[in-house]
Chains A and B, each alone.
Chain A
Amino acid sequence: MGTNNHFAIRKVHSLLGIIPIGFFFLEHTITNSMAILGEDMWMAFVSFLHNLPFKIFLEVGLIFLPIAFHALYGLWIVYGAKNNTLRYSYFKNWMFYLQRITAIITLVFIIWHVWTLKTANLYYSQSYFQAMGEMLSNPLVFAAYLIGFLAAAFHFTNGIWSFLVAWGVTVGPKAQKVSFALCMGFFALLSAAGIGSLISFLQ
């Protein structure tokens, strides 16, 4: 064998979902949840990240390229499935379908989110925090953030479950059940942090 890199590509796609993309998502959620503790705390975290040395290399190497690869190859995977939840409406099949639906929502959200914030360049406005609040006071924007965040959080946490199966960590059905419960607990935790921070910007 070894005539193609199919296995390697799939494994890299799977691994990128956790390292670095998953870790970045976690860091991003924690940073923004500081908004719950107030403007100063949030601004302290954001400034720290904003002033990291070699920021452009970190952004491109640890965030943009991994997401671009995971998303592009992920779209190919989404295309490759013939979803059949209506005929086989088993729970795990719905999770498989949701993993793909949330992938698309996350992709659209990330592109819009990064594009609008980079072009608005709010960091140098009077108050970055208030500028975020103003933006989110538009109910459509708020709804987009809510849906986009929840989709990403589900995709990430359900992806951890799937990652553990794909790499042979959780082998038996019981282990997979327990890991799913833990992943969904993690989803609930992330959701609380994400929704909490979105609301906090509104004051």
Chain B
Amino acid sequence: MGETIKLRVKRQDNPEASPRWDDFEIPYRKNLNVIAMLMHIQKNPVLANGQKTAPVVYECNCLEEVCGACTMIINGKPQQACSALVDQLQKPITLEPLTKFPVLRDLHVDRNKMFENLKKVKGWIDIDGTYDLGPGPRMAPKTQEWAYPLSRCMTCGCCAEACPNYNEKSDFMGPAAISQVRLFNAHPTGSMQKDDRLDAIMDKGGISDCGNAQNCVQVCPKEIPLTTSIADMGKDTVKRWISRALRA
């Protein structure tokens, strides 16, 4: 066998089990990524010491860093396993499940809270219901271009993982949902629900729970200007707060 890569994986067999570390040695090939290493273990579930083991459980989907499913902690930082290239990583490589979400098994976590928060803030554009609502207003190309970076969010959870205020002690929804409010409020059709979204992020766990540690913008794999989104929504929520109070 030629060159091998040492891989350490933090595993647990079920949500209640206590975690353990398993060592693997994976044959090196050019352009190897972390997902390919996990696929190798799937085919050949053997520990570095030769002992057989259960294959490491993980999630993946698109394999091109747009779905967010394979998000895990690689060498201490949250990122997608599919775009984590072995050549660029320090060895031995360590893999851990995200810590801010319940672990189901091994590297597979339940990111449901991310999606629940998107629902809370109405992270969508309303379309026709039971009948045709007719064509909506058009979006200026300039606004489209401005909005595109925000639309690249894949709800991966890296920003929440790195945020000190996103944890089991707090209801904070995290940066992603707040940034999505900025995206959908900027859309000419989406802006029809503008106030509903602002009200949602002014509720418990909303924008005012942000303490400006700004880790989110550092770790977001899509380089979304999260802190700009948060400050921008900070301004809109303050305006909404005052207007709500004066019209009450």
Asked whether A and B interact, the reply is: yes
Give me the interface of A with B, judged by CB distance under 8 Å: 1-4, 6-8, 10-11, 14, 77, 79-84, 87-88, 90, 92-93, 95-97, 99, 161-162, 165-173, 176
A11 adjacent to B208 (CB under 8 Å): yes
Contact of B234 among A92, A161, A167 (CB under 8 A): A167
Q: Are B234 and A81 in contact (CB under 8 A)?
A: no
CA distance A8 to B235 in the complex (A): 14
Contact in complex: B227, A162 (CB < 8 Å) = no
Fill in one digit per residue for B16-37: 1 if any A CB lies within 8 Å of its CB, else 0. 0000000000000000000000
Binds A, one of B41-49, B64-72, B147-155, B163-171: B163-171
For the complex, is B238 an interface residue (Cβ under 8 Å from A)?
A: yes
Most B-side CB within 10 Å, residue of A83, A88, A97, A172: A88
B13 at interface by CB-CB < 8 Å: no
The residues of B with any CB-CB pair to A shorter than 8 Å are 76-77, 162, 164-165, 167, 169-170, 199-200, 202-215, 217-219, 225, 227-228, 230-238, 241, 244
Contact between B164 and A93 (Cβ–Cβ < 8 Å)? yes
Whether the Cβ atoms of B169 and A79 lie closer than 8 Å is: yes
Contact partner of A172 (CB less than 8 A), chosen from B169, B215, B228, is: B228
In the bound complex, residues from chain A placing their C-beta under 8 Å from that of B231 are: 165-166, 168, 170-172, 176
**Contact assessment for B211 and A162 in the assembled complex, using a CB-CB cutoff below 8 Å:** yes
Tell me, in angstroms, the Cα distance from A168 to B208 when the chains sit together.
11
Given known contacts A82-B164, A84-B162, A173-B227, A92 and B235 CB-to-CB distance under 8 angstroms? no
Of the candidates B202, B212, B241, the one whose C-beta lies within 8 Å of that of A162 is B212
With A8-B241, A10-B209, A84-B162 as given contacts, are A168 and B235 in contact (CB-CB < 8 Å)?
yes
> Do A166 and B234 touch (CB < 8 A)?
yes
Assuming A2-B244, A84-B162, is B208 touching A166 (CB within 8 A)? yes
A164 (CB) vs chain B CBs: closest residue: B231
What are the residues of chain A within 8 A of B77 when measuring CB–CB? 87
Contact B235 A88 (CB under 8 A): no
Q: Report whether A7 and B202 are in contact in the complex, using a CB–CB cutoff of 8 Å.
A: yes
What are 14 A-to-B residue pairs whose CB atoms are below 8 Å?
A1-B203, A6-B202, A7-B208, A79-B169, A80-B167, A80-B209, A81-B165, A82-B167, A82-B169, A93-B213, A93-B214, A95-B213, A168-B231, A168-B235
* Top 6 A-B residue pairs of the complex, sorted by shortest distance between their CB atoms: A168-B235, A10-B208, A96-B213, A92-B214, A168-B234, A1-B199
On whether A173 and B225 interact (CB within 8 A), knowing A6-B206, A7-B206, A90-B218, the answer reads yes
Cα distance A173–B238 in the bound complex, in angstroms: 20
Q: Given the complex, which residues of A lie within 8 Å of B208, measured CB to CB? A: 6-7, 10-11, 14, 166
